């Protein structure tokens, strides 16, 4: 029986020995492989005994003895499963200086652990604790903390990585100076037999960064950051999975420049804090505006970080290595997805700039060089329509409002650097949306341009001269570079659409200059070369290209003329009628201010006259007229006239000319004479005005005195004069009648001639006395009136003179009648008739009968001779009677000569 037991034991021993040998070789947990094992049979199993030692040997002997004797003893046998470890505590031995014992002679928890299998220990000497092995699943990591080991250095927070078979070899950990505390090394996927009395292991999830995420890393340990440094530099450490490499290569504590991209990472999250953030997505129609929270400091006066090569801010280390600067960045992100360290770079989105058709956009730069004092707009530089911010800065772009504009289109612009003013936000910048529309000049207008930037206009000039090459002010920089002037421009815009910067150009649209069919246009140019001439005014008419009034007028039509630098005076070529009267006239008439002329005559009377003047201006004479009279209305005048030049001609030349002529003329005439000589005065005025206006290039067609309005007192004199004229006419009629009547009297009543003559003499004497009495009375009245009113005295004197003249004329008429009678009868016959009258009277007293009929003969040849013969006989008979009377009594002599002298006064004429 003993042989059988021995055979069985030997077989089992060999088999178990082979198995144990393989386990020891695979785990490398035994110090040597030549140590002998003692195997004791127990039923159908084999038990692995402890390594042979002095004490172990005794145990083996006891077991063997028990087997030999048939008694089986199993004190202190422990089985460790495949996923377990055994940690033993030795109850007796010398004390250890560590948390665990590395020497078998030391008491306490032992560094070595029991691997899976059967282990025998003396129960009174060893206490064995079974624990599960550390299993790290594929999606987990193990964070290790050493409870014992070398102390951490000053400022060190994590123990360095040492060779210790992933913390499974505690002795190697201590031997290689492993440090107590949290460890840099981690446990990856697998099963680990770790002495948990020395090492605490915390299972944590691996780091997964999804495709739409980035991992922002912060190191809790590492080299200190330099002064002013906020982010740890990038070091090669397998995306922070190799903590020891992170430290060895100088990884720094704090936020890291490097990020984690989409993947799964086995990172010591106790050492590295991982914060997930979304990737940066810039949608179509957007741009990304970037601001760096760290980097080199911006120089004074610089507001934006320069452009550096850093893979669109995805390579943070390159950003720093290339000198990337802290603050807002010039570079932008275009549509796409970016894996950016959002702890370092702040990214905001802004819509792309859209300029609609028919509109423009203005730009204000927040960065660049300062503007020069003489400029108000930043110079235009090559920068791809402000899309290349770096080019804008590098090419000398200036801060402030920009000369360049954006036309219709879409632009990817850094709106932190450039503020874009469109029709949408125009009011926010003090503008109207219509200011940002393309300037469209209509077909019947021109655009007069005023520039707001450029050189000052030279002294003495009113507008900037023509500048080549700026494409109708659409390229403002070329205008400035070519020496363009600030202010009103000689050049203007014609019909069309123009993309103009309203900060640079202001456009005033005015109608084309239109000259109608009955007019011409005279151009006065305020620009051009100076005309140097010391000759007459007429020669100062200039050709085109010179300053002054141009010789050639514009014929009827429409003309594009810059009326801010050239004035066009439209001159009518038809006849113009001007009235000097007090009648109401339209406000825009040329003769609105012309009133009836008030004149003073030579004799002191004041009276009004109304005058009409007709003038005309020939086409070729219009420039000369404008040159002489000008076309500018007085500044204090608020009247709007049809034509200012004609108004000036009327007010400055023609009005004073006519007023002066008629005033001077009135001084040379008495009031009544002025009216009587109206035609002569009108003719003189027409000749004078025609000659005077000819010097102004104006033709005087006619000058008419329409009406003379004498004063009331002169009207009364005129009325009286008319009465006297009527009286004279009546007297003349009566005179004629009287002459006819006297003829009948001579024929019918010759005998009554003496009575008529006596009566005529008496009437003449009476009239003479009355006239003298009236003259005395008038003189007395005039003397009294003279003291009261000299004017009335003169008037009365004229009236009395007229009366006297009238009486004198009557007396002269009567005398003339008497003379005619005497001449008709002959003086001798008349004397005889008078003598006969005297003799008739005497004979009547003598009562002498006279023959009633004297018979005389006639030769029949001459009635006059017969009459003379008969008269001779009568005179002979009368002589006979005279002699008879003389004999009878004395007769008083009749002084016939005196009588005749009275009737026929001597007239030397």
Inter-residue contact 184 to 244 (CB < 8 Å): yes
In DSSP terms, which residues pair with 120 in a beta bridge?
Answer: 77
Q: What is the mean pLDDT of residues 101-120?
A: 89
pLDDT of 9 strictly over 70: no
Highest mean pLDDT among 43-57, 287-301, 882-896: 287-301
What letter does residue 435 receive in the DSSP assignment?
A: G
Burial class (CB in 10 A: 0-12, 13-18, 19+), 798: middle
Q: What is the mean pLDDT of residues 809-822?
A: 76
Highest mean pLDDT among 473-482, 753-762, 766-775: 473-482
What pLDDT, on a 0 to 100 scale, did the predictor assign at position 801? Answer: 78
What pLDDT, on a 0 to 100 scale, did the predictor assign at position 593? Answer: 87
Contacts of 148 (CB under 8 A, 6+ apart): 98, 99, 100, 174, 180, 198
Burial class (CB in 10 A: 0-12, 13-18, 19+), 458: exposed
pLDDT of 211 strictly over 90: yes
pLDDT digits (tens, 9 = 90+) for 639-676: 455 678 888 888 889 989 999 998 998 888 887 788 88
The mean-pLDDT minimum among 357-361, 537-541, 624-628, 799-803 falls in: 537-541
Q: Which has more confidence, 536 or 391?
A: 391
Q: What is the mean pLDDT of residues 211-229?
A: 93
**Which has the closest alpha carbon to 331: 321, 343, 317, 345?**
345
pLDDT of 871 strictly over 80: no
pLDDT digits (tens, 9 = 90+) for 846-870: 554 545 444 444 444 554 445 445 5
Inter-residue contact 366 to 314 (CB < 8 Å): no
What pLDDT, on a 0 to 100 scale, did the predictor assign at position 509? Answer: 93
Handedness of CA 487, 488, 491, 495 (dihedral sign): positive
Q: Which has more confidence, 674 or 22?
A: 674
Task: Write down all domains in the chain, each with its CATH number in brackets.
Answer: 2-132 (no CATH), 207-278 (no CATH), 279-351 (no CATH), 353-437 (no CATH), 440-511 (no CATH), 573-706 (3.30.479.30), 715-825 (no CATH), 835-903 (no CATH)
Distance, CA of 57 to CA of 37 (rounded, Å):
10
The mean-pLDDT minimum among 282-291, 399-408, 409-418, 828-837 falls in: 828-837
Strand, coil or helix: 533: coil
* pLDDT class of 725 with cuts at 50, 70, 90: confident
- Extract the runs of DSSP E, i.e. beta strands, from 92-209: 108-114, 117-120, 126-132, 134-136, 140-146, 181-187, 190-192, 199-205, 207-209
The mean-pLDDT minimum among 60-64, 293-297, 653-657 falls in: 60-64
Inter-residue contact 249 to 197 (CB < 8 Å): no
What pLDDT, on a 0 to 100 scale, did the predictor assign at position 886? Answer: 61
Listing DSSP states for 831-895 in one string gives HHHHHHHHHHHHHHHHT----S-------SS-HHHHHHHHHHHHHHHHHHHHHHHHHHS--PPP-
Overall size of the chain counted in residues? 909
pLDDT digits (tens, 9 = 90+) for 349-394: 999 999 999 999 999 999 999 998 889 999 999 999 999 999 999 9
Own/partner long-range contacts of 796-803 (Cβ < 8 Å, ≥24 apart): 798/717, 799/717, 799/720, 800/774, 800/775, 802/721, 802/724, 803/774, 803/778
Q: Which has more confidence, 746 or 372?
A: 372
CA distances from 102 to 29, 67, 95, 110, 134 (A): 14, 35, 11, 6, 22
Distance, CA of 398 to CA of 369 (rounded, Å):
5
pLDDT digits (tens, 9 = 90+) for 457-486: 999 889 999 999 999 999 999 999 999 999
**Which has the closest alpha carbon to 23: 64, 76, 80?**
80
What letter does residue 253 receive in the DSSP assignment?
A: S
What pLDDT, on a 0 to 100 scale, did the predictor assign at position 30? Answer: 31
**Which has the closest alpha carbon to 467: 487, 447, 443?**
487
CA distances from 458 to 465, 487, 488, 719 (A): 10, 11, 12, 73
pLDDT of 33 strictly over 80: no
What pLDDT, on a 0 to 100 scale, did the predictor assign at position 902? Answer: 38
Q: What is the mean pLDDT of residues 39-53?
A: 34
Strand, coil or helix: 288: strand
What pLDDT, on a 0 to 100 scale, did the predictor assign at position 718? Answer: 66
Distance, CA of 693 to CA of 614 (rounded, Å):
12
Q: What is the mean pLDDT of residues 628-636?
A: 64
Q: What is the mean pLDDT of residues 888-904?
A: 43
What pLDDT, on a 0 to 100 scale, did the predictor assign at position 39? Answer: 31
Mean pLDDT over the full length of the chain: 81
**Which has the closest alpha carbon to 577: 469, 654, 488, 507?**
654
**Which has the closest alpha carbon to 600: 656, 676, 664, 689?**
664
What pLDDT, on a 0 to 100 scale, did the predictor assign at position 21? Answer: 36
What letter does residue 653 receive in the DSSP assignment?
A: I
* pLDDT class of 37 with cuts at 50, 70, 90: very low
Q: Which has more confidence, 888 or 452?
A: 452
pLDDT of 845 strictly over 80: no
Distance, CA of 814 to CA of 29 (rounded, Å):
192
């Amino acid at each position: 029986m003993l042989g059988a037991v021995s055979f069985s034991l030997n077989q089992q021993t060999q088999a178990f020995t082979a198995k144990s040998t393989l386990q020891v070789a695979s785990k490398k947990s035994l110090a040597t492989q030549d140590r002998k094992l003692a195997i004791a049979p127990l039923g159908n199993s084999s038990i692995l005994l402890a390594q042979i030692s002095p004490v172990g040997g005794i145990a083996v002997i006891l077991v063997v003895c028990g087997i030999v004797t048939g008694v089986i003893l199993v004190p202190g046998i422990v089985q460790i499963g495949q996923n377990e470890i055994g940690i033993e505590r030795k109850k007796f031995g010398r004390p250890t200086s560590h948390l665990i014992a590395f020497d078998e002679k030391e008491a306490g928890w032992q560094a070595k652990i029991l691997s899976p299998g059967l282990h025998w220990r003396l129960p009174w000497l060893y206490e064995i604790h079974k624990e599960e092995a550390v299993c790290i699943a594929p999606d987990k990591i193990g964070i290790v903390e050493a409870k014992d080991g070398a102390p951490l250095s000053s400022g060190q927070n994590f123990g360095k990585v040492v060779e210790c078979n992933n913390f499974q070899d505690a002795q190697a950990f201590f031997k290689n100076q492993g440090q107590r505390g949290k460890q840099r090394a981690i446990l990856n996927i697998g099963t680990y037999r770790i002495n948990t009395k020395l090492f605490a292991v915390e299972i944590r999830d691996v780091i997964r960064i999804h495709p739409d995420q980035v991992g922002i890393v912060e190191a809790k340990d590492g080299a200190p950051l330099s002064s002013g440094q906020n982010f740890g530099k990038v070091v090669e450490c397998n995306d922070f999975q190799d903590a020891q490499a992170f430290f060895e290569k100088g990884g720094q504590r704090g936020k890291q420049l490097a990020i984690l991209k989409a993947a799964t990472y086995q990172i010591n999250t106790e050492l590295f804090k991982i914060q997930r953030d979304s990737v940066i997505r810039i949608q179509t129609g957007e741009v990304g505006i970037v601001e760096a929270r760290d980097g080199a400091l911006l120089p004074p006066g610089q507001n934006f970080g320069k452009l550096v090569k850093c893979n669109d801010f995805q390579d943070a280390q390159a950003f720093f290595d290339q000198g990337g600067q802290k603050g807002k960045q010039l570079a932008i992100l275009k549509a796409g997805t970016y894996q950016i360290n959002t702890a370092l770079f702040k990214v905001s989105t802004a819509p792309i700039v859209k300029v609609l058709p028919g509109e423009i956009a203005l730009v204000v730069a927040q960065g660049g060089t300062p503007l020069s004092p003489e400029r108000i707009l930043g110079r235009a530089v090559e920068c791809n329509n402000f899309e290349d911010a770096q080019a804008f800065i590098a090419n000398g772009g200036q801060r402030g409002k920009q000369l360049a504009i954006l036309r219709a289109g879409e632009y990817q612009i850094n709106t932190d650097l450039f503020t874009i003013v469109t029709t949408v936000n125009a009011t926010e910048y003090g503008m109207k949306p219509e200011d940002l529309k393309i300037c469209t000049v209509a077909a019947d207008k021109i655009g007069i341009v005023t520039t707001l930037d450029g050189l000052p206009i030279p002294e003495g000039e009113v507008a900037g001269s023509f500048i080549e090459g700026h494409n109708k002010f659409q390229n403002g920089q070329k205008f400035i570079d070519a020496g363009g002037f600030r202010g009103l421009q000689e050049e203007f815009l014609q019909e069309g659409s123009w993309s103009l910067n309203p900060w640079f150009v202001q456009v005033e649209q005015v109608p084309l200059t239109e000259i109608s069919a009955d007019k011409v246009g005279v151009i006065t140019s305020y620009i051009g070369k100076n005309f140097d001439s010391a000759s007459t005014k007429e020669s100062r008419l200039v050709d085109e290209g010179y300053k002054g009034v141009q010789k050639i007028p514009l014929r009827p039509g429409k003309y594009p003329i810059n009326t801010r630098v050239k004035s066009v005076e439209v001159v009518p070529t038809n006849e113009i009628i001007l009235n000097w009267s007090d009648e109401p006239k339209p406000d825009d008439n040329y003769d609105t201010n012309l009133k009836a002329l008030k004149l003073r005559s030579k004799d002191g009377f004041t009276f009004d006259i109304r005058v009409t003047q007709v003038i005309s201006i020939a086409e070729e004479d219009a420039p000369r007229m404008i040159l002489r009279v000008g076309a500018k209305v007085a500044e204090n005048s608020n009247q709007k006239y049809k034509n200012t030049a004609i108004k000036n001609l009327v007010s400055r030349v023609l009005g004073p000319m006519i007023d002066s002529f008629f005033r001077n003329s009135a001084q040379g005439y008495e009031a009544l004479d002025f009216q009587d000589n109206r035609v002569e005065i009108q003719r003189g005025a027409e000749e004078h005005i025609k000659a005077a206006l000819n010097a102004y290039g104006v033709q005087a067609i006619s000058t008419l005195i329409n009406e003379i309005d004498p004063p009331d007192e002169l009207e009364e004199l005129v009325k009286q004069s008319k009465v006297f004229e009527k009286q004279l006419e009546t007297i003349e009629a009566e005179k004629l009648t009287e002459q006819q009547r006297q003829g009948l009297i001579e024929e019918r009543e010759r005998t009554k001639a003496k009575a008529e003559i006596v009566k005529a003499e008496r009437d003449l004497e009476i009239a003479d006395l009355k006239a003298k009495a009236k003259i005395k009375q008038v003189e007395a009245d005039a003397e009294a009136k003279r003291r009261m009113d000299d004017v009335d005295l003169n008037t009365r004197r004229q009236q009395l003179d007229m009366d006297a003249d009238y009486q004198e004329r009557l007396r002269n008429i009567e005398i003339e009648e008497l003379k005619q009678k005497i001449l008709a009868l002959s003086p001798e016959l008349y004397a005889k008739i008078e003598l006969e009258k005297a003799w008739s009277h005497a004979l009547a007293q003598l009562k002498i009968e006279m023959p009633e009929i004297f018979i005389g003969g006639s030769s029949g040849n001459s009635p006059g001779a017969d009459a003379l013969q008969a008269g001779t006989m009568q005179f002979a008979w009368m002589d006979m009677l005279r002699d008879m009377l003389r004999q009878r009594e004395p007769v008083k002599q009749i002084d016939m000569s005196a009588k005749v002298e009275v009737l026929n006064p001597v007239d030397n004429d």
